[in-house]
Structure 1
Amino acid sequence: MIQPKYKLIAEFIKDKIESKKWSEGHKIPSETDLATQFSASRMTARKAVDKVVDSGLLERTPSVGTFVKSIQPQSSLLEIKNIADEILSRGHCHKMTVLSKLTMVPNDEIAMSFSLPSKIVYKIIVIHFENDIPIQLEERYINADKVPDFLHQDFSKITAHQYLASVAPLTEAEISVEAVMPTKILKHNLHLDNHIPCLKVTRSTYSNGHPISFVVLYHPADRFKLTTSYRLVE
Structure 2
Amino acid sequence: MTNTDGWTIPLQDVELVPERTLGTPTAQQLAHRLSFGQDILPVAEPYAFPEWCSYAEGLAHARTFRLLAMVCSFHPEEPDSSWIMEKGKLALSLRTEGETPPRAIGRRIDPGERTRPVNSVPSTVSFSFNAGLFGAGVQHPLGGSATGYDWIVQGYGENQSQLRWRFRSTKHHPLVGDHPLAVLIEYDPAKEHRVEILFSAELKHPTLGLRRHRGQLPVRSIPLTT
* TM-score of the alignment, normalized to the shorter chain, above 0.5: no
User: TM-score scaled to structure 2, two decimals?
Assistant: 0.26
Higher helix share: 1
TM-score scaled to structure 1, two decimals?
0.26
Structure with the bigger percentage of strand: 2
